[in-house]
Amino acid sequence: MKNQLIYRLTYAVGSVAMSLGLCTNLQAQTTPKQPTLGHRSAKILQIGGLQFKDLNKNNKLDIYEDWRKPIDARVKDLLSQMSLEEKTGLMLISTTRMEGDYAFEPQKKQGVIGSGFNEDDLVQNINMFSRKPLPYPLLSASGTTKGITERHLRNFILRANTDAKTIAEWSNNLQALAETQPLGIPALVASNPRNHITKDNSVGLSVGTTTFSKWPGELGLAAMRDFQLTRKFAQIAAQEWRAVGLRKGYQYMADLATEPRWQRIEGTFGEDADLAAKMVYEVVVGFQGPQLNANSVALTTKHFPGGGPQVEGQDPHFDFGKDQHYPGGMFDYHLKPFKAAIKAGTSAMMPYYAKPINTAYEEVGFAYSKAIITNLLRKKLGFKGIVNSDTGPIEMMPWGVENLSILQRYQKSLEAGVDLYSGSADPALLLETVQKGLVSEKRIDESVARILRERFAMGLFENPYVDVEKAQKIVGNPDFQKAADIALRKSIVVLKNENHRLPIAKKTKLYFETYMESGKNNPHRIYQPAKPIEGYEFVGTPDEADQIVLWLMPGAAAGLFGSTGAAIDLRLSKNMIDVGYVNKLLSSKPTTLCINFTSPWVINELSNYPALLATFGTTPEAILDIVTGKFQPSGKLPFTIPLSQEVVEKNLSDVPGHLKQAPYALYKFGEGITVLK
């Protein structure tokens, strides 16, 4: 009995102690952690020892201003306070520019809110269905300021290529202006890729060489086959973007490079769905984190359900390229990378302009297809984020719905499931669509809720501002570039090393030429290292050399946006390379031939190259480290290099090269020599 009493007393005391401890722990867990509040004009409310921003200027704490509340509750409250005009303004994302970037006179003051791209100007100045529409809008005097204060715009795409200080200052000024508005809804600034060495840096594809850390192109990242380094790339890039106020990426392309003639292959992760899926997963998690948070850069994965299998490779930016088909019956194969993006939590999806032909789906652009967006993407694949149209499907690329009015196009695309429209800076017609009863305000609320939810998750209502001085230290810093330099080397693929030509022996005189574009004033760029490379002498002419390193940079003369609808030919002689000159050089001395593959070029016009390297956006220094044996190659081809133009023209455009019927390949997907002796 005595022992039982002692046991009961001990148990009771222990239970009380545990309960007290549990209460203490629960209290610690539920005590809200004060976030940093970034503000300029908004009053700070002091409540219970905590601080909140009075964004709507009513001198009280609203639910949407209370960072302790669940996101859905904050969204519901803010929606209830928004006018229809404010809602429709939030459903547009328009291209903006700043004073201080390369497009302005240098004497203009930098770091202020400048004139914005107004997509409406483009519609007024071109024929909607011309064969060569301008790809993106012209500068407009209406500007970003008018967009925020009069049109309620809060989503912007920054195309400017300038320094970190200028972008960060501009971003802060943009947010300060947004904060002055009645509800204080912060802006969200997106960008195309900024961290890749790329051949085609056309507006809308890539910003090109920037002050950010410089990594291989997307094909090069895939060629590395290093998923850990891919994740590290995305994490580093996200830090740089976040530092300057870029919080959304119009990237990455989950499209597959199955049609070798398609002119956007450079932005893909190659032809294989499984490889592309792994790459997409890593970049989404790297940029966003496990879920959207205050450190995230939200991504917009594109172009659902896969823009690769274009008819004859023509692009749907143009009416002559609006058709997409699946002659090999591999529609589902192209969905794999998008499924990976959804699994990784991608914040947004972008449907392409193209319309499918010869399928079970309605022959309309994907932004107008309820079967594609609502039934497939949302219901079947489970995507819950934002559906962001590509730029201009309403006014410029309304494929399959050309006979509908602008209001009817908004109606059909909203019924399909689009939330956010790129390509206009004026919500008047979207607003009119609702006012005339073509679409209910309830349907508008669904889209606006998704758009607001993203902002709340990323903490933009608490602090959308950046530290300008810190941004200058973060962007492009040496530690980041050191990691990128490894990737630049790992992305190089050695395809041929006849008679063990590589590595090039020391005490060799090298002539290193980058051959850029035939017909230009100076297509021949002779490389001379900034610092001597021990054991090698670099000479200025082929005659002086023992060996030659020749790096070819093929490409269509006019780029994607110069397309005319003419048949696309992948032979080097049709892509700015003087084959006669190259073959003469190859015959003159032992030559290591390097080719930058922005597309799967047909290279059968060349001969006499004992060593062949494939690059996908890298540097001369990286190439030299490979050919001299300083860095062992590890890259593998991200796509198949075809035998000839003839096999290209007969290919099934939805089928990856490694599954195409033989004979097709000169070099197969996945090839790459990894040991040089």
Q: Could you list the active site residues? A: 390
> What one-letter code names the amino acid at 379?
K
Distance CA(430)–CA(534), nearest Å, equals: 65
In this structure, the dihedral spanned by the alpha carbons of residues 281, 287, 293 and 298, taken in order and rounded to 10 degrees, is: -90
Distance CA(575)–CA(82), nearest Å, equals: 53
CB of 370 closer than 8 Å to CB of 400:
no
Distance CA(559)–CA(562), nearest Å, equals: 5
Locus of tokens 């922005």: 598
**Element spanning 28, H or E:** helix 2-30
DSSP per-residue codes, 492-542:
-EEEEEGGG--SPPSSEEEEEEEE--TTSS--EEE---SSPPTTEEE-SSG
β-sheet bridge partners, residue 301: 349
Closest to 595 in 3D by CA, of 539, 551, 535: 551
Distance CA(272)–CA(257), nearest Å, equals: 8
C-alpha distances out from residue 368 to 17, 389, 395, 401, Å: 63, 10, 13, 8
- Rounded to 5°, angle at Cα 489 from 482 and 225: 105
Distance CA(524)–CA(605), nearest Å, equals: 20
As a whole number of Å, the end-to-end CA separation of the chain is: 84
Distance CA(651)–CA(669), nearest Å, equals: 15
- Locate 494 and state its tokens: 């050695």
DSSP per-residue codes, 174-200:
HHHHHHTSTT-PPPEEEES--SB--S-
Q: Give the three-state DSSP class for 63.
A: helix
